[in-house]
Chains A and B, each alone.
Chain A
Amino acid sequence: MHRILRYAVVFIICSAVPLALHAGEIYGFIIQQNGSPLAKASIELHCGGEPIRGTTAPDGTYRINVPQQGPCKLVLPNNSGASADVVSYPNPSQYNLQLVNNQLQRR
């Protein structure tokens, strides 16, 4: 029983280390319905734990480092909570979005 527990602990550690080593990144730009950049807007990434916060640049571009991989939700809390489903991979993932009728759509 102890041996199985030991193997389980080793397995969990081994599988957790690569996730820590290969943090993902979500990046891209967000524009408004009229095509102008969504400048200095707050962004939240909900990936299961505490939300990861960021802000868009004056040109609407954003870049957020994500500690874990997997499906996340990108939310604009100050824009009626408009959201889009995104996925964090080991390599940076690009999501160019447009805010249309308080909905985030991929471009």
Chain B
Amino acid sequence: MPQEEPPTDSPKSAPSAQSSSPPKDRSDLWVEIGKVVGMPLAALILGFIFNYTLSKAQARDNDMRLYTEMMGRREQADSDLRKDMFKAVLDKFMSNDSANMKPLEKLDQQILELELLAYNFHESLDIGPLFKRIHKQVMKVTGPEGEAMRVRLEDLAQEVKEQQLNALTGMERYGRDNVDPRQAVKPQLVVKVPLPTVDNPQGNILWGPLRTEPQFLAGTPTLYCLYLDKSNSFRIYRQFKLDFTHYSLTRREVEVWLMVSRPLSKEDCNKEVFNPLTTEVETRFWVGLFAFPMIDNTRLSEGERFAVSLNPMSEAQPLQARLAYFPESRASLKDKPYYDEILRRLSVEQGQ
């Protein structure tokens, strides 16, 4: 029987090797073509994209620079104009040039100057003292002229307060769970303060033979749980307790005893009772018709502010006090953050 030959690398395999060599050559050829043509092409495309991106970024930077320059120039021109205007109005206000004018004319002119100051500089200047000074003079004027001036002055103050409150309020939220989230955003936080009237002399305690001034208000304190939405979605809950303690009939002002807690957890904030040991700020201050919230506010930690301002006073109805809880970025131009707060915030941001 013929024996089977062991399988060897016989010449049978040689033709197959010969047949595979042409495709290898073709692939080499394509690789060579790729090297010769593809690489420069890729470099060309990449270069084009890079150039395009760079030129686009430069154009955008140029636009931004131009815009910034234009805004800067406009701001500078505006500042110069306001500076000149401010100096002219304030100089006139403080000078005695109008010595030859009749008292009523002089007062009228002073109100006009105050209107200019109030409408143009209420964000950067505390105009409250000027209001109080003119109001004091106006209250001495009897008759319809005096009444008209008083109304004009108080309306002006109210208008400025409204402008400021519109800018400041609306960011605060009620922290309580029982408030419908759709209604949780309330642009106005209003507290009604019952005032003593002639018709209701028993509303407050009168001591001694003379009616006291200021009068003691035995009202019920108001407690709020509020928070502000921070840019990093972090919420700081605080409790605010307001107690209106005195009312001055002659000065037309109320005294507020304000207690603000330090940042709390949501659960602690939602408690029905204020814990005095969590107090961060406790203060008593007088609020009148000429307290402007953008300037006259209480500084809290974490770059926050709180202000109380009054709606127009009337003996016939309870006094309405409006509250504003807002970030320092909304505060007036003259209100600058503390350096240590900025440094602490920067270090926290770097830590994140």
Contact = CB atoms under 8 A, between A and B. Distances in A.
B73 interface: no
B215 to A, nearest CB: 9
A11 to B, nearest CB: 17
A46 interface: no
A59 interface: yes
Contacts of B221: 57, 61
A35 interface: yes
Interface string A19-54: 011110101010100010101000000000000000
A60 B273 CA distance: 9
B241 A25 contact: no
B208 to A, nearest CB: 4
Given A31-B276, A63-B243, A92 B284 contact: yes
Contacts of B284: 92
B197 interface: no
Interface residue tally of chain A, by bracket? 20 to 34
Given A20-B207, A65-B205, A92-B284, A59 B213 contact: no
Given A25-B245, A92-B284, A67 B207 contact: yes
A27 B257 contact: yes
B275 interface: yes
Nearest to B255: A92
B207 A23 contact: yes
Interface residue tally of chain B, by bracket? 20 to 34
A106 to B, nearest CB: 14
Nearest to B205: A65
B210 A31 contact: no
Contact of A20 (B212, B245, B273, B277): B212
Nearest to B207: A67
Contact of B275 (A27, A59, A63, A96): A59
B208 A65 contact: no
B274 interface: yes
Interface string A83-103: 000000000100010000000
A59 B190 CA distance: 22
B245 A23 contact: no
A20 B208 contact: yes
A58 interface: yes
A33 to B, nearest CB: 13
Nearest to B259: A61
A5 interface: no
Interface in B133-187: none
Nearest to B223: A59
A88 to B, nearest CB: 12
A17 interface: yes
B276 A61 contact: yes
A47 B167 CA distance: 49
Given A63-B245, A63-B257, A35 B277 contact: yes
Nearest to A92: B284
A53 B209 CA distance: 20
B216 interface: yes
Given A58-B273, A59-B276, A25 B216 contact: yes
A77 to B, nearest CB: 21
Contacts of A17: 210
Given A27-B257, A31-B276, A59-B276, A20 B243 contact: no
Given A20-B212, A21-B210, A65-B207, 6 more contacts: A23-B212, A29-B276, A35-B277, A59-B241, A59-B276, A63-B243
Interface of B: 205, 207-210, 212-213, 216, 218, 221, 241, 243, 245, 257, 259, 272-277, 284
25 contacts: A20-B207, A20-B209, A23-B208, A25-B245, A29-B276, A31-B277, A37-B273, A37-B275, A37-B276, A39-B273, A57-B221, A58-B272, A59-B241, A59-B273, A59-B275, A59-B276, A60-B276, A61-B243, A61-B276, A63-B243, A65-B205, A65-B207, A65-B218, A92-B245, A92-B284
